[in-house]
Chains A and B, each alone.
Chain A
Amino acid sequence: MSVTTVLVLAAGTYLLRLAGPLLRGRIEVSERARQLLATAATTLLTALLFTAALTEAGGFAGWARPAGVAVGAVLAWRRAPFVVVVIAAALTAAGLRLLGIP
């Protein structure tokens, strides 16, 4: 991989990251718009977690991962500590794979 490829990817990624904060600093954003942007961000993160939990390379990811995420989700819903949520999800997926479930 050439240095140019890396640099173009880095520059593009950085500009995408910087554009948001800079634009927000220049324009007056109403409270209502601010709420909508927060909802948009939550929507993106939720979509990200669902696609990451269920899919792999455009197909179904197998049962172990969604099962692990579901265990983590239940724990999070019951207000378990963040660390417990993350570790329980990983252990569940790892355990199911040990048992032969992909």
Chain B
Amino acid sequence: MKQFKNHLSKRWLTVLTASLSLSVLTFSPVTQAVEGIEKEDLKFGFIKLTDMAPLAIAYEKGFFEEEGLFVQIEAQANWKVLLDRVINGELDGAHMLAGQPLGATIGFGTKAEVVTAFSMDLNGNAVTVSNEIWQQMKPHVPMTDGKPVHPIKADALKPVIDKYKAEGKAFNMGMVFPVSTHNYELRYWLAAGGIKPGFYAPPQDTNGQINADALLSVTPPPQMPSTLEAGTISGYCVGEPWNQQAVFKGIGVPVVTDYEIWKNNPEKVFGVSKTWADKYPNTHLAVVKALIRAAMWLDAENNKNRPEAVKILSDSKYVGADYSVIANSMTGTFEYEKGDKRSLPDFNVFFRYNATYPYYSDAIWYLTQMRRWGQINEYKSDDWYMEIAKQVYRPDIYMAAAKELIAEGKAKPGDFPSGSETGFKPPQTEFIDGIVYDGTKPNEYLTKFPIGLKAKQKVVDGKIVE
């Protein structure tokens, strides 16, 4: 079948010289960099979101080919399908939510060992509510010169939810996956405003709606706007372009970005199964090299390449949304209410601030949130958090790839963390509720939250017990 098809497509290669809409790509033939690549034909999966950009750029700019890799990039139906296909080997690797490799490794959902050596980006999400909810929130939002003061806290949403409760109506919100960054960001934002987002109690209860004021459920990203329009949910947390799409279509209003919830938070990672990483170490290294180069290209010279990147992403093969919709956030602005366009140069960060380095402290933050909401429903020691982070996050592979790039003159040592990097960022203070996060003390961090599990607490039969 395949041979037959190739034969056919070659026969069809009667190419007319069409004026190319995409920039003409010319790159030098392969200069094999990594020696002994075990597997040259690879298939990577992604979900139609702006932050899959490093994969698209590495392909379109020929970085994969220059590393001697023949890569196919394929859109997947949803996060679960994507993860399952990486685990069963149909895909060699994929664009994943930071929580997915961690969740899979600790066995929340599908149990399998998945590792990551490359963090794909920072920020890039937002919380959007329907027009109707926004109208009800607005009186509670502080204003200056007739414009809302940002960041908008969930305190403004609380009266709306209380009213829903009084009327006996459920307040539904959408997020993209139980272990998604969006789920934890939305919960963080809601809880910081005194709204209970609900607990999980695995293995019996994996809905995460125990004791909830706002009921969160899973909706695939591309369907968010239409689900909001249908009234099934009143708000959602999702990556781009699906927040700006809501503004363009006039069906919702983004109220807060994740940059405001936690400044420069890690968002997506490039995940592969542990068996794959062990079996093809050189291939893995080559892939990481290509991805680092793509990330550098995306952030090069003050984002000058972003318009070209947006053009590539708007191709139906990748994200496929309109150029103007993707460009909105990729080129440093973000539109909240229609017409309220604000400058957010760091809404999408692909390389600056060591965005691509897999920090242990980032992994541990996600684990603390899994513990906070009961996805990890028992006490774990600080050492356990450390151990899981080291199992899943592989800065050693990242640094090996960085060293090769430096040796080849494609990057400068100053682009990467120094050799003495511990993998822990200094205590981070820029959260929307002002709580300080120190990755070396996860249990102490958990005690700082008024809403959430801490110490020895567990959720049993819908109640929190000590």
A and B together in one complex: no
